[in-house]
Amino acid sequence: MPHPDAVAPPTADAPTPPTVTPPTVTPSTVDGPEADLRPEARRELDAILLDGTLTYRQRVQRLAAFAENLRPMPPLRAATREALDARVICDMYEGNAPYRPRYLLPDYAAALANGSAYLELPPPRDLAEATWFLASMYANVPSITGYPVYLGDLDALLAPYADGLSEDAIVEALRPFWRALDRMLPDAFVHANLGPEDTPMLRAILRLERELRQVVPNLSLKVAPGVTPDDLLRDATETVFACAKPHFVNDPMMRADHGEGYAAVSCYNSLKIGGGAHTLVRINLKEVALRHEGDTEAFFTTTLPHDVEATAELMEARIRHLVERSGFFEHDWLVQEGLVQLDRFSAMFGVFGLAEAVNVLMERAGASGRYGHDADANALGHRIVRTIAGLVADRPQPYCDGFDGRAMMHAQSGIDLDVDVTAGTRIPIGEEPDLYRHLMAVAPHHAVFAAGVSDIVHFDDTARRNPDAVVDVIKGAMATGMRDVTFNLDSNDFVRITGYLVKKSDLAAIEAGARHGSTYLGAGNEAQAHCTQRATKRVVAAERQAGGRG
């Protein structure tokens, strides 16, 4: 924004600018040769090129998605294509010709230990070199968003370079790096992990988070009973009060599914370090239920298997294009240096709209119980999820050795285009029962969703005066088999949308443009799902941005 004095208004004393006489003859203009575009595509292109509220990078990213989608999708059976067009199944608008995996989790520890030939960097020797080394890597790590979705388990990665430094000294040394993460990677899907061990590095990072209150990085704390002390959970809870981060993840449960080398990235996606997810394809259970004809049993024996197979086919086609045609796994530097390995990849099978599906089936069966409130409705929800999990476990997927040749279940937390359909297996916004019954209704799902599940737990402001109560709930949730726990407090400046954060002040300012790409998604989601329960904002951004996150 220019300084207010930069363009001074004319004053009485100011000299009158010379009058410019317009040319009397306007030269005629001639259109240049134009690419062969359908009018609809031309409009889409102009919406990017002529929208000054988008930053340069946001435009470049959208242009790339536009260009990718000039190419047709990989071939699909007619029934699958029909389900996709009806958005019963959804490719997350990742783009028609995937040329990089959706989520990559580079093995940053190996890079720091060995240096990188591609980056022409030797192994770092101190904290400053280590942070610059990582920042250099981040600039070269792709993902569906164009930004790295995983920054590493930063406490563990950086602790060896801070040996002997006090917590205060670490805070001072790390502050420029932490600020730069938010400024260089302006996307709330950029995610760092911490824990489960308590270290001065971890404490310093939490302090920085409370001090800087940035959208980036999104943050998960791994929690292990007997390893993660209550005092650290309390510190993390105070951090949630300040900036709505971190998420809490159930470390023993994750290790059981993925082994020691896992991380939570983007929005609640738990994947293998040194690998990732080729793609995320999701099934809209609300639409599946609405299109279903017949009784509840037929839903399980006929409709679900049909639509799950359609989802799996779309997934397979996308994986094959990425691995067999794009050349990524032959040529990308992360692959060549062994920082990601194809055999640590799988794909994510997302489900959403469970609440509506359950309510539709209950109504058709003449029952009044609603998901989240009624034992029969909840049991039906659990049966749907377990049935899908069984079908997915029986359906081989190519190049998914990272999960025994199968896709991983994921409760997909929604994108901004979703209207009147609830994220993942959540209870609809505004319908949540009291917290205990809420957790009891959703906890049984968590075991199934190896690739992550999101249930956002709302606390009112009284919790701020009693952080130990929040710590109790975290420990209880883990003990009860919840995989991921995220809190939202009514009164801080952040609002958690589907799994990522936006600042309320940025939402309010969106018509003037926003620095974080994800703020646009947040604005769309805010308008569609009323997830802040506040007045909706006009949406200026194009919705079909490649790869609507999850």
Partner 1 sequence: MTLPRPLPADAAARAVRLAPDGADAGGVRGLVSGTIPFSAVDGPGNRFAVFLQGCNMDCPACHNPHTIRVCDDCGACVDGCPTAALEVVGGAVRWRPDACIGCDACIAACPDASSPKARSVTPDALVAEVRPVAPFLSGVTVSGGEATQQATFVRAFFAALAADPTTARLTRFVDGNGLTPPAVWDALEPVMDGAMIDLKAFDDDAHRALTGTPVAPVKASIDRLAARGLLHEVRLLIVPGRNDAPDALHRAATWLAGVAPDVHVRVTGFRRHGVRPGASGWREPTAREIRGYGDAVRAAGLANVTVV
The C-alpha atoms of residue 115 and residue 124 are separated, in whole angstroms, by 7
Question: Is residue 368 close enough to count as binding partner 1 by CB under 8 A?
Answer: no
CA distances from 343 to 70, 158, 215 (A): 31, 27, 33
Residue 486 CB burial class (10 angstroms; 0-12, 13-18, ≥19): buried
Of 401 and 431, which has the nearer Cβ to partner 1?
Answer: 431
In contact, 91 and 310? CB cutoff 8 Å: no
Closest CB 445 distance from partner 1, rounded Å = 18
Nearer Cβ to partner 1 (314/482): 482
486: helix, strand or coil: strand
Binding residue (CB under 8 A) for partner 1 from 466, 508, 512, 534: 466
> Angle CA(517)–CA(523)–CA(528) in degrees, nearest 5?
135
Among 469, 508, 509, 512, binds partner 1 (CB under 8 A): 469
Q: Residue from 174, 439, 514, 531 that binds partner 1 (CB under 8 A)?
A: 439
Of 19, 29, 462, 491, the residue at the interface with partner 1 (CB under 8 A) is 462
Of 133, 401, 128, nearest to 274 (Cα)?
Answer: 401
CB of 333 to partner 1, least distance (A): 46
Q: Which of 70, 117, 365, 435 binds partner 1 (CB under 8 A)?
A: 435
* Burial class of residue 407, CB neighbours in 10 A (0-12, 13-18, 19+): buried
The answer to whether residues 192 and 217 touch, using CB atoms and an 8 Å cutoff, is yes
Q: Residue 46 or residue 468: which is nearer to partner 1 going by CB?
A: 468
Q: Which of 196, 138, 152, 105 is nearest to 402 (CA)?
A: 105
Q: Which residue in the set 172, 363, 468, 490 belongs to the binding site for partner 1 (CB under 8 A)?
A: 468
Nearer to partner 1, 174 or 463 (CB): 463
Q: Is 441 in the site for partner 1 (CB under 8 A)?
A: no
- Tell which one of 59, 320, 364, 437 touches partner 1 (CB under 8 A): 437
Tell me which of 88, 112, 473, 507 binds partner 1, using CB under 8 A.
Answer: 473
Nearer to partner 1, 379 or 509 (CB): 379
Among 477, 501, 521, 546, binds partner 1 (CB under 8 A): 477
Contacts of 115-120 spanning 24+ positions with Cβ under 8 A: 116/333, 116/337, 117/337, 118/333, 118/336, 118/337, 119/333
Which C-beta is closer to partner 1: that of 169 or that of 440?
A: 440
Q: Which residues of 515-536 are buried (b: 16+ CB within 10 A; e: fewer)?
A: ebbbbbbbbbbbbbbebbeeee
Residue 334 touches partner 1, criterion: CB under 8 A: no
156 binds partner 1 (CB under 8 A): no
Phi first, then psi: give them for residue 88, nearest 5 degrees: -70, -35
Q: Give yes or no for residue 456 binding partner 1 (CB under 8 A).
A: no
The interface region with partner 1, picked from 40-48, 72-80, 374-382, 463-471 by CB under 8 A, is 463-471
Taking contact as CB under 8 A, which single stretch among the options 58-66, 296-304, 347-355, 465-473 is the one that binds partner 1?
465-473
E strands of 52-174, at which residues? 89-90, 103-105, 150-153
Minimum CB–partner distance for residue 436 and partner 1 (Å): 4
CB 315 within 8 A of CB 349: yes
Sole window of 39-47, 84-92, 135-143, 466-474 interacting with partner 1 (rule: CB under 8 A)? 466-474
Number of H helices and number of E strands within the chain?
21, 15
Q: Which stretch binds partner 1 (CB under 8 A): 122-130, 208-216, 410-418, 458-466?
A: 458-466
Q: Contact between 322 and partner 1 (CB under 8 A)?
A: no
Burial class (CB in 10 A: 0-12, 13-18, 19+), 539: middle
Q: What are the residues whose beta carbons fall under 8 Å from the beta carbon of 529, sequence distance 6 or more?
A: 414, 418, 419, 429
Interface with partner 1, residue 379, by CB under 8 A: no
User: Of the two residues 298 and 435, which places its CB atom closer to partner 1 in the complex?
Assistant: 435
CA pseudo-torsion sign 161, 167, 172, 174: positive
Q: Select the residue interacting with partner 1 from 66, 459, 487, 520 (CB under 8 A).
A: 459
Q: How many CB atoms lie within 10 A of CB 233?
A: 23
User: Under the rule (CB under 8 A), what is the footprint of partner 1?
Assistant: 434-437, 439-440, 459, 462-463, 465-466, 468-473, 475-477, 479-480
